[in-house]
Amino acid sequence: MLEPATRKGMHRMKPTDTAAGGRRMVDGWPVADEPLPADPMLRLAYYARLAPSSHNSQPWKFLVGQGEIDLLVDETRWLRVADHDRRELFVSLGCALESMRIAADYAGFGSRVEYFPVAGSDTLVARLQIEFAGPKREFAAASLLEHAVTRRTSHKPFDPALAVGEDARKSLYACYDEAGVSLHFLAEDRRAMQWLAELEREADRALFADPAYREELAAWIGEGLLGTPWLISKIAQFAVGHLPVAERVAQDDADRVSSAPLVAVLSTRNDDPEDRVRAGAAYMRIALMAESRGLRVQPVSQALEVEATRTGVARLFDLRERCVQHLFRIGHAEAERGPHRRRPLKDLVIRETGPAIGTGNG
């Protein structure tokens, strides 16, 4: 097994140190909001916990065993109204799965995935097998791990005058390799961007017209996981539940879309849960690659949550028979600050078996 602390360029680091960019490192690993566990298997889950998820719902559980992690859906955290077909749920789980694999790449472990290993059940999303001394996966992405602790979804308007250059676009394009998943860009076409902004506005109006949608959104805002302080969350929860805020939200969302120099969509040939998980894995890599290049990313989900606008998005990107899985804008803005708002790792790990393997000064 290659020990994380002996990775190239890190061997002289003290157990706790600060890397370039102000990242806190322990034992050669980037640290987020919680102490880093010593057990390498728990370390994989540690980074999965930082993955993006719709409404920051974190709809996952990790069954950690000897050389194996089962990634499970936490049904209680599924957005039943906004995400009635569970597309966003599986995309979110794909982000968590890929985070674990990137952490395994970083440790020098091999990893293999079995998708939906129990026939007829889509609660067990993936079984991740870790080969501590095994060959690394073919398309490893160890260098993306350090960005997992600084990556944030951007909610700011982007600077429309600052393009995402050809070179950056190529690196986003080249950073993932998922069976059946394609990436399409929409750039430098103001009319198309305006059309997309209109689709987002139309979707917001349709969604806010549904009391069940407002109630669900208000409940998640009230949980305080969406990045707002407690009091603001409570006020926002009340506003979404009781006040006519739809037009304001629709306008803000449309403005954010039209400010983007680049919009991207991930699509798949089929529309099975596995396709969605794979689209999520691709998004995870793209978001981390964007972060590594100082680019900001924000998913644009509302336009995909309403059938008519989702069809409009597919037409705009000329996707024909392909299935739209995830839409997001990319551009330049100030970095988002503030703490990670994540549930503690101990609440996400169902079972820990076996002794800590290898080293670590958590």
User: Residues, the chain, total?
Assistant: 362
Tokens linked to 234: 């409570």
Backbone angles phi, psi at 51, to 5 degrees: -65, 155
The 295-314 contact track toward ligand FMN, x by CB under 6 A, reads ---xxxxx------------
- Residue 268 binding ligand FMN, by CB under 6 A: no
Q: Of 28 and 273, which has the nearer Cβ to ligand FMN? A: 273
Minimum CB distance to ligand FMN smaller for 130 or for 345: 345
Q: Which residue has the tokens 């739209």?
A: 324
Contacts of 69 (CB under 8 A, 6+ apart): 41, 44, 45, 62, 63, 100, 127, 128, 130
DSSP state of 324: E
- Whichever of 53 and 259 has its CB closer to ligand FMN, that residue is 53
- Neighbouring C-beta atoms of residue 360, cutoff 10 Å: 21
Our CB check for ligand FMN shows the closer of 222 and 299 to be 299
Which region, judged by CB under 6 A, interacts with ligand FMN, from 25-33, 84-92, 130-138, 205-213?
84-92
Note the helical H segments in the chain.
40-48, 87-107, 166-174, 190-208, 211-222, 230-242, 246-258, 273-292, 302-305, 307-316, 345-348
Q: Which residue is nearest to ligand FMN (CB)?
A: 52
Of 23-31, 48-56, 191-199, 264-272, which part binds ligand FMN (CB under 6 A)? 48-56
Closest CA to 72 of 117, 130, 123, 128: 123
Binding mask 205-244 for ligand FMN (x = CB under 6 A): ---------------------x------------------
Residue whose CB is less far from ligand FMN, 51 or 140:
51
* Cα-based distances in Å from 226 to 153, 180, 201: 10, 31, 21
Using rule CB under 6 A, residue 257 touches ligand FMN: no
Task: Work out which of 28, 30, 37, 52 binds ligand FMN, going by CB under 6 A.
Answer: 52
Q: What is the CA radius of gyration of the chain?
A: 20
Question: Which neighbouring-strand residues pair with 329?
Answer: 263, 298
Least CB distance from residue 284 to ligand FMN, whole Å?
A: 9
What the block records as the tokens of 58 is 């974190």
Q: Which CB sits closer to ligand FMN, 54 or 111?
A: 54
Q: Which residues contact 124 (CB under 8 A, 6 or more apart)?
A: 70, 71, 72, 116, 117, 118
- Strands 110-115 and 16-18 turn out to be unpaired
* Nearest CA-CA partner of 341 in 214, 221, 203, 226: 226
Between residues 27 and 88, which has the closer beta carbon with respect to ligand FMN? 88
Q: Looking at 17-25, 122-130, 151-159, 180-188, which segment touches ligand FMN (CB under 6 A)?
A: 151-159
Indicate whether 291 belongs to the interface with ligand FMN (CB under 6 A): no
Residue 269 touches ligand FMN, criterion: CB under 6 A:
no
Under the binding rule (CB under 6 A), the answer on residue 56 touching ligand FMN is yes
From candidates 11, 14, 112, 155, binder to ligand FMN by CB under 6 A: 155
Candidates 32, 41, 43, 54; binder of ligand FMN (CB under 6 A) is: 54
Question: Cβ closer to ligand FMN: 95 or 175?
Answer: 95
Q: Which is nearer to ligand FMN, 128 or 287 (CB)?
A: 287
- Interacting residue ranges for ligand FMN, rule: CB under 6 A: 52-56, 88, 91-92, 95, 152-153, 155, 226, 298-302
